Amino acid sequence: MDRKKFIQTSGLGLGIALLPGVATGKQLYKDTEPANNLNPKIIKDEEGEVLNVLGDIQTHKLLGSETDNQIVEWVDNVGPGVGIPPHVHTKEDEIFRVIKGKVEITVGGTTTILEAGDTAFAPKNIPHSWTVVGTEKAKMITSAFPAGIEIMFRKLAALPPGPPDFENVAKICQAQGISFLKE
């Protein structure tokens, strides 16, 4: 059978096989149940809860309370020189996606410069850090899973203005299973 005839025939067969479920709105696969009762959400660029987390301006887009604690996602929008020193998470993995600017990131001993369109994955228990480099602000989407770290960020954002008390910051982070490494 030639390719065109195969596609036409198999397409028709697939359409007939799916039609009963589509027409009736019934679930096609009886052995799968919806995983949860999550509500869809659309978040515009300018929307979200903005927190100043020790100079890291974060706009929280998705929270654990909205994702069945599967994931939390925020946008970092920060100037040159701002970053997070080497640290380790014991509870969550993180994904960093640079949208604008340049971010120097170190994960597991490998350092690289991420630019717009680049992504890095930092699994839990692996040391990592990042710093905005260059002359322009950077915009980076960060995801952490499972969720929970957003509670720590709110506590850090609530600290009094001025130079942070590192002991207090470390204590708040340690409660989330995050420890800082000596450089």
At 7, is the pLDDT very low, low, confident or very high (cuts 50, 70, 90)? low
Is residue 99 in some structural domain?
A: yes
> Prior bond to 80 cis, omega within 30?
no
Is residue 133 in some structural domain?
A: yes
Calpha distance 157→155 (Å, rounded)? 5
Structure tokens, 52: 């100043």
Residue range 89-142, pLDDT digits in tens: 999 999 999 999 999 999 999 999 999 999 999 999 999 999 999 999 999 999
At a CB cut-off of 8 Å and minimum separation 6, what does 2 contact? none
Is residue 37 in some structural domain?
A: no
Q: Please state whether 59 falls in left (phi above 0), alpha (psi between -120 and 50) or beta.
A: beta
Is residue 8 in some structural domain?
A: no
Q: Which domain covers residue 135, as residue numbers?
A: 49-180
Is residue 7 in some structural domain?
A: no
Is residue 79 in some structural domain?
A: yes
Domain count, the chain: 1
Place of tokens 């989330």: 176
Is residue 38 in some structural domain?
A: no
CATH number for the domain that contains residue 139: 2.60.120.10
Strand 93-100 and strand 138-145: the pairing is antiparallel
Is residue 114 in some structural domain?
A: yes
Residue range 169-179, pLDDT digits in tens: 999 999 999 99
